[in-house]
Amino acid sequence: MTATVERERAREGERRDWWPDGLEAMIWVVAAIGVALMLRSGSLQIAAPIDLVYTLGRALGIVAAVLLLTQVLLVSRAPYIERSVGHDRTTALHTRLGTWAIILMLTHASIITGMSAYYDGRGLLDQSIATFTSAWYLAAAQIALTAFLAVLATSIAIVRRRLRYERWHLVHVLVYVGIAGAVPHQFLEGSTFRDGGPAWWFWLVLYAFAFGSLLVFRFVQPLWRLARHDARVSDVTRLPDGSVSITVMGRDLDALGAKSGQFMLWRFLDRTRWREAHPFSLSARPTDTSLRLTVRPSGDFTRELATLAVGTRVLAEGPLGVFTHRARRGRGLVLVAAGIGITPIRAMLEDCDASEPCTVIVRVSGAEDAPLLDEVEDLVRRSGADLRVLRGPRGDGWTPRDAPGGLADLVEEVGGRDVYICGPLAWADAVEADARACGVPPAAVHRERFAW
């Protein structure tokens, strides 16, 4: 029986591991088809070897367009991507392919401008001005390029760290301006997309799929859920450590398909907060009528959450993330939390199977650093799990100075278990390194990062 469960978990895990690579491979195949359709269109005149450079410029524009549409799809929060690839990997893919899209677009524009200047015997500046004034859609494409460059500049880590999240996000919205500016020249310049044919249909399907997903899952579905579930804040409790637990009640919440360990993007629809959606993990097992989140005050938004009025309507997008029991590979669990990272761990503990060994490790540096610990203690008592509370000042590793050295001392046969980690980044890195050193396979180490 046990062996069957493990084999089933391993198979399910392998299937899930395949998805991110499969999705990325599919994106490059679609880009290759786009280039093939362009080459097949018969519009290419290669009279001299230098014309190949122009063709390369056009091909790069095609690849950039596919990657741009991929960006729209990746931020659409479509469940078929979020559930198979996971939100953190989707975000990582979005960052990597988005950077490539902008680099390719820049190269495309530089080559096309350079080659047009060469063909027309003009300087680069004259050519750029001539392009800008020759047709509205070419001017729009140049403005789009400037918008994309602004997004790239603000996404570079060092700039991002200096910008407030909200400002960075606002600049990111320029991507939509960029896409709106870039699309017309793709259809109106050149002959690839004229006169119907396979290329026309290919792009039409791509655009419809990407923007359709965005429209459905970012706009229509949230509004539909707002009406269907009528979710409202039913309780706001301030915890002794300063965190706030917020209970949201609604109708038919099972239909959301939320699992312990997942997070949602929460938007509280009162006068001051409705514009901002913030990610918070579920801090209790979701039920058909209630969801709960627990928030530690850290900035403008979270500091004010204790003032949330009971009855406030809630728009929750998701559930998102794959930090759940479904991701398990081995037999037995180790749940490791520090600080507010205890929220998904607390929820997962509620769903632990009593027939499997489960050790919960909570790192606490002071009374102000122990949100939900009383609830965890209570759940552990009821479930028969092991609890190790590591109290004390920071040590050299992730455990306190005078505590046992690490996972090997704290957990029996840790190598065969799944290790779930949530807490401050550097601390969680140290736990992960320890788990790997104890022989836990990479696929059995699961992390939830509270930062994007």
Ligand X SMILES: Cc1cc2nc3c(=O)[nH]c(=O)nc-3n(C[C@H](O)[C@H](O)[C@H](O)COP(=O)(O)OP(=O)(O)OC[C@H]3O[C@@H](n4cnc5c(N)ncnc54)[C@H](O)[C@@H]3O)c2cc1C
Q: Site residues (CB under 6 A) for ligand X?
A: 165, 263, 276-281, 293-296, 298-302, 340, 343, 448, 450-452
Q: Is the peptide bond before 184 cis (omega within 30 degrees of 0)?
A: no
**Residue listed under structure tokens 């001539």:** 130
Query: Would you give the distance in Å from CA 242 to the centre of its chain?
Result: 28
445-447 and 418-422 strand pairing: parallel
Rounded Cα distance, 327 and 332, in Å:
13
Is the separation of the CB atoms in 148 and 65 below 8 Å? no
Query: Given the complex with ligand X, which of 112 and 233 has the nearer CB atom?
Result: 233
Residue type, 7: R
3-state class (DSSP) for residue 190: coil
Smallest separation, CB 365 to ligand X (Å): 17
- In the complex, least distance from residue 342 CB atom to ligand X, rounded to whole angstroms: 9
Residue 279 in 3-state DSSP? strand
In angstroms, the first-to-last Cα distance of the chain is 39
Residue 190 CB, shortest distance to ligand X, in Å, is 39
Smallest separation (angstroms) from ligand X to the CB of 155: 13
Min. distance of Cβ 423 from ligand X in angstroms?
A: 11
Q: Which is nearer to ligand X, 105 or 284 (CB)?
A: 284
C-alpha atoms less than 13 angstroms from C-alpha of 50 in its C-beta half-sphere: 7
Q: Rounded to whole angstroms, how far apart are CA atoms 31 and 60?
A: 10
Greatest distance between any 2 Cα atoms in the chain: 81
Shortest distance (Å) from residue 422 CB to ligand X: 8
Give the residue closest to ligand X by C-beta. 299
Toward ligand X, which CB reaches closer, 109 or 360?
A: 360
Q: Of 427 and 450, which has the nearer Cβ to ligand X?
A: 450
Q: Can you tell me the distance from the alpha carbon of 103 to that of 97, in angstroms, rounded to the nearest whole number?
A: 10
DSSP string, 87-126: HHHHHHHHHHHHHHHHHHHHHHHHHHHHHHHHHHT--HHH
Q: Is the Cβ of residue 242 or residue 384 nearer to ligand X in the bound state? A: 242
The least distance separating ligand X from the CB of residue 217, rounded to whole angstroms, comes to: 17
- Residue 267 contacts residue 277 (beta carbons within 8 Å): yes
Instruction: Specify the residue, 219 or 452, whose C-beta has the smaller distance to ligand X.
Output: 452
Q: Please, which residue, 235 or 300, has the CB nearer to ligand X?
A: 300
Instruction: Name the residue type at position 376.
Output: V
Dig out the tokens for 387 from the structure: 């609890």
Smallest distance, ligand X to C-beta of residue 23, A? 20
**Cβ-based nearer residue to ligand X, 148 or 263:** 263
Strand partners, 266: 278, 316
Min. distance of Cβ 449 from ligand X in angstroms? 6
Q: Which is nearer to ligand X, 51 or 88 (CB)?
A: 88
Cα angle 57-59-60, degrees, rounded to a multiple of 5: 65
Instruction: Choose between 262 and 399: whose C-beta lies nearer to ligand X.
Output: 262
117, two tokens: 């200047």
Provide the minimum distance between the beta carbon of 385 and ligand X in the complex, in angstroms, as a whole number: 21
Rounded to whole angstroms, the Cα distance separating 10 from 118 reads 58
